Amino acid sequence: MMTQVSNFIIPAVIFLVVGFGVLGHVKIYESFLKGASDGLKIVVEIVPTLIGLMMGVGILRASGFFTLLERALAPVAALFGFPAQILSLLTVKLFSSSAATGLVLDVFATYGPDSYPGLITSIVMSCTETVFYTMSVYFLAAKVTKTRYTLTGALLSTAAGTIAGIILAAAIA
Amino acid sequence: MLNMIWAFMILGGILCGVLTGHVEELSCAALESAGDAITLCITMAGVVALWMGLMEIAKESGLVERMTKGIAPFLHFLFPRIPKGHPALEHISTNVIANILGLGWACTPAGLKAMEALADLEKERGNPPQVASNEMCTFLIFNISSLQLVPVNMIAYRSQYGSANPARIIAPALLATLISTLVAIAFCKWKDRKEPPMKGRMEDETRAGGEAK
């Protein structure tokens, strides 16, 4: 059921957007090409970031660092029945989305994207944000130093999303 | 922030590798991951270009504008104290729509402008500038709760790593994000009541005879 809804969403969005464009007399094909070329530029811009971070994660993994960290975290992870790798991933995601991406791909390479750990990763990474990064950038723009209850709220909502994601992953795995 | 994280990954990784005797693997890993990054970008390029092309049509056809109008009542519920027509509302709605549609790059500029506009609003109210207003807290918590309709990047990664059905996670991810957003809204509304906005706070305190915090 959940999978059927998922499969339906992308075709539905495409149909809706193109249909609306036709009704609005938009030169849909030209608009599409313009957007697509912007999209390519964005990807080209993130190539260096991805190389840098995947290299960093690659070195960390080869060095045995994650093995050490995960050995330390294993008892906690065992309580929830998933590999300790997920815990390092959740921690990294609070700071940097691109650094987390390196670890996501690591989980996919080790367990496969359709395994239980792979599904947890896919869902939880899609429903959480980089709490510390976003807060620092946005509050910097507003020149605010006293952030009051923002961090509590952000962590609470992230925790709720994470728990929901783990339960849902178990349900569809 | 990223400078420190990266320095830690590279320096910490190499030190740790030397100490645990994994020196050979280190050079291999550095070179291989750089190559993997390029392979990944090729898959991503297709998905992201497709999505951005569609969103350009949505922008041109007025669909994005229509959505902005559609969420206005909802934004009024979230931020009842922002006066109608204040620029902050416009930036917030652009940011929220961009978030929902997964236009990561378009979220941040609008979000930063929204924060600046909210800071101006606090100045107009005569509150100290360095303290976050309730609106800022709500906006950020709501933003961080993440409201993405289709996690485009994640689908691209999944298909790159041979998932049988990369789109399978859309519905559960949507449900999970809905839950985190509901928790965010409930928390902000509770805080609004418990810690009223600066200006209102003093009035409330005199009314409650100093009982309120």
* Mean pLDDT of all residues belonging to chain B: 85
Both A33 and A12 in a single domain? yes
- Cα B186 from Cα A171, distance rounded (Å): 26
| DSSP at B9 | I
The whole-number pLDDT of residue B211 equals: 39
Confidence at residue B66, expressed as pLDDT on a 0 to 100 scale = 87
A47, A75: one domain: no
Q: What is the pLDDT of residue B77?
A: 94
Neighbour-count burial for B158-192, b at 16+ CB within 10 Å, e otherwise: bbbbebeebbbbbbbbbbbbebbbebbbebbeebb
Pick the more confident residue, A170 or A76. Answer: A170
Burial of B197 by CB count in 10 Å (0-12 exposed, 13-18 middle, 19+ buried)?
Answer: middle
Model pLDDT for residues A23-54, shown as the tens digit of each residue: 999 999 999 999 899 888 878 877 887 788 78
Do A1 and A44 fall into the same domain? Answer: yes
Alpha-carbon B139 to chain mean position = 10
Residue B26: name the closest of B43, B13, B44, B35 by CA.
B13
Task: Give the residue from A55, A76, A100 where a domain finishes.
Answer: A55
From CA B145, how far away is CA A136, in angstroms rounded? 16
Please indicate whether residue B74 or residue B44 has the higher confidence score (pLDDT): B74
CA distances from A146 to B108, B112, B130 (A): 21, 17, 6
The torsion region of residue A60 among left (phi > 0), alpha (psi -120 to 50) and beta comes to alpha
* Interface probe with B: pick from A14, A26, A43, A136, most Cβ of B within 10 Å: A43
Helix (H) or strand (E) holding B42: helix B23-60
Do residue A48 and residue A70 come from a single domain? no
Predicted local distance difference test score (pLDDT) of residue B144: 93
What ipTM was predicted for this assembly?
0.79
Is there a contact between B188 and A150 (Cβ–Cβ < 8 Å)? Answer: no
> By the 8 A CB rule, do A101 and A130 touch?
no
Which chain A residues touch B14 with a CB distance below 8 Å? 59, 63
Q: Does the pLDDT of residue B205 top 50, yes or no?
A: no
Residue pair A85/A107 in contact (Cβ under 8 Å)? The answer is: yes
Greatest Cα-to-Cα distance within chain A, rounded to the nearest angstrom: 60
How many Å apart are CA A3 and CA A171, to the nearest integer? 11
Q: How far is A70 from chain B (nearest CA, A)?
A: 14
Domain that holds residue A38: 1-55
Min Cα–Cα distance to chain B from A73, Å: 18
Contacts of A66 in chain B (CB under 8 A): none
Q: Cβ-count burial of A95 within 10 angstroms (0-12 exposed, 13-18 middle, 19+ buried)?
A: middle
For B115-166, how does the pLDDT look when each residue is reduced to its tens digit (9 = 90+)? 999 999 999 998 988 899 999 999 999 999 988 888 888 998 999 999 999 9
Residue A48 shares a structural domain with residue A75:
no
Q: What are phi and psi of B131, to 5 degrees?
A: -100, 135
Contact B173 A18 (CB under 8 A): no
Provide the number of structural domains found in chain A. Answer: 2
User: What was the pLDDT predicted at B208?
Assistant: 46
Which residues in chain A (9-68) have CB-CB distances under 8 A to chain B?
Answer: 9-10, 13-14, 16-18, 20-21, 23-24, 26-28, 31-40, 42-44, 46-47, 50-65, 68
Q: What is the pLDDT of residues B160-193, one digit of tens each?
A: 999 999 999 999 999 999 999 999 999 999 999 9
Q: State yes or no: pLDDT of B110 exceeds 60.
A: yes
Co-location of A22 and A96 in the same domain: no
Least confident of A8-12, B109-113, B161-165, B200-204: B200-204
